[in-house]
Structure 1
Amino acid sequence: MEKRFLIHLLLVSTILLSACKENPKKETVTPIKSSVKYAKGFDIINVNEETKKLIIKNPYLNANESFEYILSKNKQKDAIHIPIEKLVVTSTTHIPMLEVLNGEELLVGFPNTKYISSKKTRALISNGKIKELGIEADLNTEVLLDLQPDAVVAFSMNKTNKSLQFIEKNGIPVVLNGDWLEETPLGRAEWIKLFGVLLNKEKEADSIFNVIEKNYLEAKQLALKATSKPSILSGAFMQKDVWNLPAGESFVAQFLEDANTNYLWKDTKGKGSLSLSLESVLDKAQNADYWVAPGYFNTKEEMLQKNKIYSDFTAFKENKLYTPNMKKGSTGGVIYFELGPSRPDLVLKDIIKITHPELLEDYEFTFFEVMK
């Protein structure tokens, strides 16, 4: 009996020792998420000191899938090596984010280079350092593949983009950027952190965004000191009988809310635009105090040539009509569309200057001006 007990004890001990050898205790490292505060379309997870995971949660309109990219400081299979050394981007909104991180020299190709307004990047285009790649929807893939960028940061309107699919099949990673789908001004600006991680400049990107956030929130607080809350009309006829203007849950409506104004369609649903009849707009906004961003028009005369009814609005008659379309780069690109998404603090200050000029007496417009 004693002998059987000793044998049993020996067997148990052997099994336990074997288990300890086969399953050594590993130190668990809990991934730490980045400080993404406003943006809903992406996240960055620190896997370890050398590796990060970039998650694009909202890559295109009505997407029901997300994309994950492994970013590594060590060259490894199926990972994007960071920092990026050669880059292609496809939207002018990406240019200011690259520039503020001193990353414009990494840019080797861009579609429709004529729309880029920044003087720094235009100089690179003039010197032949940035190649023309055609148009966003139909990239010149032959030129792009010759450039052999480390990655392409692109935006896509839908799941199927043959140019981007072809690029990926040829071994060049495509990172989908959904900044244009963000619902808040600060959410859009926060996508600078995506470029921060690609360029291995996360601390710089965080610091830059923190300043923009601080400026924006301070401007928002300043607007609350206004003694009036003027009514706002926006948009114009974009098709024959349809007036398009921002929906109440859009980022444009958020700007107008944060500027302490009464946007007349603030209570409507939707994050994009509304399509309304002339009668409904005229009934609601004929006597609006200000008209901000009247579509693609550059002058009041252009508006009247399109439709005489514009002259029936009080804001039109009293020259309280403001547009960001007039300030352009040397090749015709509208500066607002390029720089505005990354500098919501300046956009908000412009709107406050329009609607509460007494609060920013010495401030000069960055984007908007009175339409003449």
Structure 2
Amino acid sequence: MKNRLYFFFGCLFVLVSCKQTPKKEVVTTQTESLVKYAKGFDIQRIGNKTKLIVKNPYLDADETFEYLFSSDDEKGSIKTPVEKLVVTSTTHIPMLELLGGETSLVGFPHPKYVSSVKTRKLIDAGNIKEIGQEANLNTEVLLDLQPELVVAFSMQKTNKSLSLIEQNGIPVLLNGDWLEETPLGRAEWIKFFGVLFNKEQQADSIFKSIEKSYLEAKKIAQKATIKPTVLSGAIMSKDIWNLPAGGSFVAQFLKDANTNYLWKDTEGKGSLSLSFESVLDKAQNADFWIAPGYFNTKEEMHNNNQHYTQFAAFKNDHIYTPNLKKGATGGVVYFELAPTRPDLVLKDIIKITHPELLSNYELSFFEKMK
């Protein structure tokens, strides 16, 4: 629910002989990064083991975490494939399913918000137990499930629930996919899960397919001769308008869709906090309003703040939201699936802003707000 080098090249170790000592043979050990876009993790193969390195598991992290995996039951490594695990974010569910690993899931926090039909069937059948909420896990229930590992995310360095789980001998893998700065960087975390199931090649193949689809869509968007202007966000509290900063992954989507996001030149990877007046001054005549906060209808927006009606996108019915497509129990599909399928998000934005370029495509996440 939920920042560093692009490539992490292996080190070269050379044994050099000392004076009056027989010269030793030079030994070279090289590890190769298997990650292309993501900045928060890396995968390295070391002999018959795989090392998973998580470099940015929470905001302002100043430490890295390394985990060894092996198909052999070796001391100091986690045995793969993992047959019983717990994950803690809905964004993990689609990656498990693409790898055929959803049946290994034994526990999940607040499963009401899981939208996927396949995983919902397992929840409804009692195969996946509720283990509290993300920030307050029910460790008693979780420990009774005896998972082989827990994939968790943490907002800060200290987490009592996760510490207790580790103290009981269950490895906790921190997952920082939510901190990635680019759409493809987020999607590449499927390789993280590929390690757990001994399906690294399959994970790589799935990601390459998503990458190919994304880059093809981006290329199509470049055919547009007009760049429509785009506004995003809304007033969330205390008359402060929150919208994506110019360096955010949302701004990257809008750039790759060949639109003119009006705050594209601002600094920062997260969100900006602006006054209503400054947003109105800059975006009153914007062509499109994409993702207007938590609102579902124009009436909700008007009732919240009648000044929203001053925007051209409001008047012209050019407001699109991802909040309307939900699973059977109310979970928003976008929040679950979009990080894994950025190609579909990009195609949605292209369809909205350049409909002539994808005439036969139907929106996957967004809908016009009514």
User: Structure 1-normalised TM-score?
Assistant: 0.92
Ranges in structure 1 where 5+ consecutive residues have no aligned partner:
1-18
Aligned twin of 2:37: 38
- 8 Å CA contact 1:32–1:47 kept in 2: the answer is no
- Does the 8 A contact of 1:108 with 1:130 survive in 2? yes
Q: Which residue in 2 is equivalent to 1:73?
A: 71
| 2:85 aligned residue | 87
Structure 2 residue corresponding to 1:275, chosen from 273, 283, 289: 273
What is the CA–CA distance in structure 2 between the aligned matches of 1:76 and 1:172, rounded to whole Å? 16
Equivalent AA in structure 2 for residue 157 of structure 1: M
Task: Give, in whole Å, the separation in 2 of the partners of 1:216 and 1:231.
Answer: 22
Report matched runs for 1:151-190 at 5 Å.
151-190=149-188
How far is the alpha carbon of 1:81 from its aligned partner? Answer: 1.0
Query: 1:278 & 1:367 partners in 2: Cα distance?
Result: 27
CA distance in 1, matches of 2:111, 2:26: 52
TM-score, length basis structure 2: 0.93
Cα deviation, residue 74, structure 1 = 1.4
The structure with the larger Rg is: 1
The match for 1:233 among 231, 239, 242 is: 231
The equivalent residue for 2:10 is none
Once the two structures are superposed, residues 59-86 of structure 1 have per-residue CA deviations (whole angstroms, 9 ceiling, x without a partner) of: 1011111101111111122321111110
Paired AA for residue 198 in structure 2:
N
Tell me how far apart the structure 2 counterparts of residues 160 and 166 of structure 1 sit (CA, whole Å): 11
Matches of 1:226 and 1:170, distance apart in 2: 57
- 1:160-199 per-residue CA deviation (whole Å, 9 max, x = no partner) reads 1110111011111110000000000000000000000111
Match of 2:142 in 1: 144
Q: Which runs of 5+ in 2 are unaligned?
A: 1-20
Query: Distance between the aligned counterparts of 2:256 and 2:27, measured in 1?
Result: 47
Report how many aligned residue pairs link the two structures: 350
Moved over 4 A (4+): 23-29
Q: Distance in 2 between matches of 1:117 and 1:98?
A: 14
- After TM superposition, the structure 1 = structure 2 runs for residues 175-324 of structure 1, keeping only pairs within 5 Å, are 175-324=173-322
Partner Cα distance (1:51, 1:211) in 2: 26
- Partner letter of residue 134 of structure 2? E
* SS of residue matched to 1:353: helix
SS at match of 1:266: coil
Q: Tell me, yes or no, if the aligned pair for 1:151 and 1:172 is still in contact at 8 Å.
A: yes
SS at match of 2:289: strand
Higher share of residues assigned helix: 1
For the aligned residue pairs, the C-alpha RMSD in angstroms reads 1.3
